Amino acid sequence: MTVVTATAPFAPPVNGAWVALCTKSSYLQGLLVLNHSLRSTSPPTAYPLVAMITAPFPPEAREVCRRAGILLKEVDSLRPTEGTHELNEHDLRFMDTWTKFRAFEWTEYERIITLDCDMLVQKNMDDLFTLPLPGPDWVAGTHVCACNPRRLSHYPNDWIPENCAYTAQHLPSALTHPPLKIQPDGPRPHGLINGGLIVLTPSKTVFKDIVTFLRTSPLIKTFSFADQDLYAAFFKNHWQPVPYVYNALKTLRVIHPDIWSDSDVRNIHYILDKPWQHPQGSPSKASADRSTAFLHGLWWLAYEDMLSQMKLDPESGWDVVDEWVAK
C-alpha cells in the first residue's frame, strides 16, 4: 500500500483493537455482522473488536455481544455544549457519533482503528495497525466523496463532483494510492476525512484538546456531519490519506466506476440506507439500485451465514438480533 509517507515515523504499535460505537439495539445486527466479517477474512484479523457502548445499551444485547466474542466497554456520551450544534432532521442518526472520540482515552492500546457498524469487511486490514504515521497526534483515513449524488439540500454547496478527491482517480492506481496529497490551495473537500474508519493513537492529552475544541470552537455550529467534520477541523494538516478500499462507500461503485473493483475492495461502508432496513428483493432497472441491491446482498449473505452459526447455540440470542432486520 502506498500512502503519504512521513519523514520520521514513530515505531509501529504492537497492541491494538478495532473499536465500533454501538449505542442502540437497532444497530446490533450491524455490529455482529462487522465482527463476523472481521473473523471471516483469510487470514482472520489478529485484533479484538471492542464495542463502545453507553448506559442505555440493553442487557440482552450486551449478552449477545459477549457470546459472539465482542469485548464491551461502557462510556459516557460525548456531545457539544447544549445549544451550540443542531443536526438536520435527515441526519439525526449522527446524534451519538461524537462519542467515538472517547477511543482516544483508551491508552491501554497503542493503536485503535474505529469502524462504523454499517460496514462489511471483505479482506484482512490488519496492515493498518502498523501503518507509519508522522506522529502520535496524527490520524489516518479515507477522503470523503463530495459528489452528493442524492443532491441533499443541507449538504455544503461545495460538495460537487468537480471538488471530489476521487474524480481524477482511475484503476489500478486507486487501489493502492490515496487520491492525492492535500494542497492548501485545493478545493476544501479535498481536506475532508470520512469518519467511518479512523486510524488513531490513543492519547489523553489529545483527547483533552479535542473535548476543549468540541466545547469552545465557534466552528462546531457550522458542522454538517458531526464527528466527521470535527476530525477534519481538529486534525487539519494532521491526517494521512489511505486508499479508498479500506472504507469503500457503497455509492462509489456507481459514482466513481473508474476506481471501483469488487474483487479488491477490503471494506464496504453502507452509508445512507442500511441493508438490514430492506429485505432482499429483485433489483430495479436503475443502475444505482442494481448496484445497491448487489452490495446489500453481500451483507445479507454474511448475515445469514452468521445467523446460521448462531442458531447452533440455543443461548446465542439469535432471535434478539433477528427482530431488528427487515423481513
The domain in which residue 266 lies consists of 16-273
Q: Looking at residue 94, what is its pLDDT?
A: 55
In this structure, is residue 193 part of a structural domain? yes
- Take residue 321 and report the three cell numbers written for it: 438480533
- DSSP code of 261? -
Contact yes or no for 197/114 (Cβ under 8 A): yes
Q: Give residue 1's pLDDT.
A: 44
Q: How does strand 71-74 pair with strand 49-53? A: parallel
pLDDT-based confidence at 243, cuts 50/70/90? Answer: very high
- Please indicate, yes or no, if residue 323 is contained in any of the structural domains: no
Residue 221 in domain: yes
Query: For residue 316, is it within any domain?
Result: no
Determine, yes or no, domain membership for 299.
Answer: no
Q: What is the pTM of this model?
A: 0.91
Measured distance CA(195)–CA(178) in Å, rounded: 16
Helix 28-40, helix 287-310: angle, nearest 10: 80
Q: What's the residue count for the chain?
A: 327
Partners of 51 in the β-ladder: 20, 72
CATH number where 211 lies: 3.90.550.10
As a whole number, mean pLDDT of residues 243-252 equals 98
Residue that the C-alpha cell 442524492 belongs to: 150
Is residue 135 included in any domain, yes or no? yes
> What's residue 95's pLDDT?
67
**Position 274 pLDDT exceeds 90:** yes
The whole-number pLDDT of residue 84 equals 57
pLDDT at residue 85, rounded to an integer: 53
Beta bridge partner(s), residue 52: 21, 73
Name the packing angle between helices 28-40 and 59-67 (round to 10°).
10
Q: Output the pLDDT for position 92.
A: 43
- Asked if the structure places residue 321 within a domain, the reply is no
pLDDT above 80 for 225: yes
Do residues 240 and 139 lie in contact, with contact meaning Cβ atoms separated by under 8 Å?
A: yes
Cα Dmax for the chain: 59
Check whether the bond before 149 is cis (ω within 30° of 0).
no
Sheet strands side by side (includes 119-121): 119-121, 267-269, 248-249
Q: Using the 8-state DSSP alphabet, how is residue 309 labeled?
A: H
- For the chain, give the mean pLDDT: 89
Tens digits of per-residue pLDDT, 69-113? Answer: 999 999 999 988 665 555 545 444 556 889 999 999 999 999 999
When computed from its CA atoms, the radius of gyration of the chain, rounded to whole angstroms, is 19
| Residue 297 C-alpha from the chain's centroid | 19
C-beta of residue 77 within 8 angstroms of C-beta of residue 54: yes
Instruction: Check the CA dihedral 231-150-87-65 and report its sign.
Output: negative
Condensed to tens digits (0 to 9), the pLDDT of residues 4-38 reads: 434 344 545 569 999 999 999 999 999 999 999 99
Quote the cell numbers at residue 243: 486508499
- Domain-located, residue 11: no
Please count the structural domains in the chain.
1
